[in-house]
Amino acid sequence: MSIRLGENYYGKQRVRIMQVTRGADRHDVKELTVGVRLEGDFETAHTQGDNSKVLPTDTMKNTVYALAKLKRIESPEEFGLRLAEHFLVKNTQVSRARIEAAETLWTRFAARKALHPHTFTRSGDEQHTALVVATRKETVVQSGMRGLIALKTTDSAFEGFLRDQFTTLKEDRNRILATVVRARWVYRTEKVDYESTWQGVRQTLLETFAGHDSKSLQQTLYAMGESVLERFPAIRAIHLSLPNRHYNLVDLSPFKMDNPKEIFLPTDEPHGLIEATIRKD
């Protein structure tokens, strides 16, 4: 029997950084959480305890800070590309660099109908995500989002579904539809304005969600992905994960009160989960 080392990698996770760009009239902020993962020729570190090819994970953390200081962060994707290139150029033993970055979204505060030069607010946990996987031959960039909460109070139905002996759900022609959008998409090329594309995809997803006469969350998911692929030629595929957050109608009949779909009980668990990838030929 022979024993050998299989797939292996290492890196630094949850490196948090806030960059403040101080202009004469206003400040801009970027807050990221970065993960670095390197693959390559590290067998002797595992089998012989030879660390001569091992770049310390503490150095990876310091590299995130240093590269941010050298140049303003334009987007998580752009910063991920810079980090991946750095680790591949500086380390011949590395064959693949994987960089994950999630941006915490700050909104400039509007004071007296004008945007404040150095005050920001956050209204939720939505994040702009990015993944860069790079070798010396190929680079793949993936953008995404998570934590985008959307709800509409009509134009949503669920009827004609399969029933068996355990089915109790009633058909509904006019229900609340609520979800927390998690999406990721892959580009055909690296030459993309990532920031404006991300904003455009976000707007497209919300516009489609709002305007779609939904027969099911599956149908709405497909319509959302289809709209993105039609509007953005640089995107070749998008994956959407949409939990179906339920709002249950409260029974007020014990109190001799009617409830024409006005009072609901919000529930987080359990919830349905609809996921699919939509690709462009």
Judge contact between 130 and 100, C-beta under 8 A: yes
In this prediction, residue 189 carries a pLDDT of 83
Residue 217 Cα distances to 145, 156, 249, angstroms:
19, 8, 19
- Active-site residue, 92 included: no
Tokens 């920001």 appear where?
120
Confidence of residue 15 (pLDDT cuts 50, 70, 90): very high
pLDDT digits 0-9 by tens, 176-192: 999 999 999 999 987 89
Distance of CA 202 to the CA centre of its chain: 11
pLDDT digits 0-9 by tens, 244-256: 999 999 999 999 9
Confidence of residue 25 (pLDDT cuts 50, 70, 90): very high
**% pLDDT > 70, the chain:** 100
Q: Decide if pLDDT at 18 tops 90.
A: yes
In this prediction, residue 281 carries a pLDDT of 85
How many Cβ atoms are within 10 Å of 277's Cβ, its own excluded?
12
In this prediction, residue 124 carries a pLDDT of 87
Cβ contacts of 164 within 8 Å, gap of 6 or more: none
d(CA 233, CA 194): 13
pLDDT digits 0-9 by tens, 194-235: 999 999 999 999 999 999 999 999 999 999 999 999 999 999
In this prediction, residue 111 carries a pLDDT of 85
Judge contact between 184 and 144, C-beta under 8 A: yes
The residue from 44, 57, 59, 104 that is catalytic is 57
User: What single DSSP character describes residue 215?
Assistant: S
User: What single DSSP character describes residue 269?
Assistant: E
Section 70-76 average pLDDT: 97
Section 158-166 average pLDDT: 97
3-class secondary structure, 10? strand
- Active-site residue, 12 included: yes
The residue from 27, 53, 246, 280 that is catalytic is 246
pLDDT digits 0-9 by tens, 87-126: 999 999 999 999 999 999 999 999 888 999 999 999 889 9
Strands of the sheet with 139-152, listed across from one edge: 10-22, 27-40, 94-104, 127-134, 139-152, 177-187, 235-249, 264-279
d(CA 149, CA 126): 8
User: 277 - beta bridge partners?
Assistant: 239
Q: Is the peptide bond before 270 cis (omega within 30 degrees of 0)?
A: yes
In this prediction, residue 147 carries a pLDDT of 96
Domains of the chain: 9-137 (3.10.270.10), 139-281 (3.10.270.10)
User: What single DSSP character describes residue 47?
Assistant: H
Q: Decide if pLDDT at 175 tops 90.
A: yes
Please compute Rg for the chain using Cα positions: 24
Higher pLDDT, residue 219 or 281: 219
Average pLDDT, the chain: 96
What do you get for the CA distance between the two ends of the chain, in Å?
46
pLDDT digits 0-9 by tens, 47-60: 999 999 999 999 99
- Active-site residue, 57 included: yes
Q: Decide if pLDDT at 268 tops 90.
A: no
Sign of CA dihedral 73, 75, 76, 81: negative
Confidence of residue 40 (pLDDT cuts 50, 70, 90): very high
Q: Decide if pLDDT at 1 tops 90.
A: no
